[in-house]
């Protein structure tokens, strides 16, 4: 969408496709804490604030991609979890998908997926591997996955991505 009136938005450290870290400044930013009748500012009022989100500017509008710390880096390649989740969700048997990076001594991280089936019938490991092979580049494909009854979420429905990695066992898929 478009920035609110009085807000400025820029993209810091843009990559070749224009995606980078979203930074904002303007009157709507948090001014600071009041302590003993004085305002303590966390940053200067005219400073740019790095949001921690990734995005890009297109025709004056901002497209938010996701959190910067959710990006998976495998073999030097940056992988957006949302792209992998979208490919998995296109499978007719997958009702929910959440992707995270798992530590790997060779690649730095590997892609792992927590999946919720739409029904009691779920695809075999071989069928799922074939599905992602047809839709994702090799470095974006989940190397591991686990099936769950539901994904870990906050009360407001937001995914608790930080709780995903501990769900995986040593078994390789």
- Tens digit of pLDDT for each residue in 3-25? 888 888 999 999 888 899 999 88
pLDDT reported for residue 43: 62
pLDDT of residue 169: 58
Record the pTM: 0.73
pLDDT in tens, 88-140: 999 999 999 999 999 999 999 999 999 999 988 888 999 999 999 999 999 99
| Burial call 18-34: b when 16+ CB within 10 Å, e when fewer | ebbbbbbbeeeeeeeee
Convert the pLDDT of each residue in 14-63 to its tens digit. Answer: 988 889 999 988 877 776 777 788 777 666 656 788 888 989 999 888 99
With 0-12 / 13-18 / 19 or more C-beta atoms within 10 angstroms meaning exposed / middle / buried, residue 114 is buried
Q: What is the C-alpha to C-alpha distance for residues 45 and 2, in angstroms, rounded to an integer? A: 22
């Amino acid at each position: 969408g478009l920035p609110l009136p009085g807000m400025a938005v820029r993209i810091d450290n843009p990559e070749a496709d224009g995606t980078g870290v979203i930074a904002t400044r303007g009157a709507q930013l948090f001014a600071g804490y009041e302590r003993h009748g004085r305002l303590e500012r966390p940053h200067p009022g005219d400073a740019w604030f790095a949001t921690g989100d990734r995005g890009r500017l297109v025709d004056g509008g901002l497209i938010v991609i996701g959190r910067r710390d959710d990006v998976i880096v495998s073999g030097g390649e940056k992988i957006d979890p949302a792209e992998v989740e979208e490919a998995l969700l296109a499978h007719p048997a997958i009702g929910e998908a959440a992707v995270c990076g798992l530590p790997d001594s060779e690649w730095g991280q590997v892609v792992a997926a927590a999946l919720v089936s739409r029904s009691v019938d779920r695809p075999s490991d071989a069928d799922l591997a074939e599905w992602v092979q047809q839709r994702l580049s090799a470095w974006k494909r989940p190397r591991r996955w686990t099936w769950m009854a539901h994904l870990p979420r906050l009360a407001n429905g937001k995914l608790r991505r930080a709780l995903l990695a501990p769900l995986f066992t040593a078994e390789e898929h």
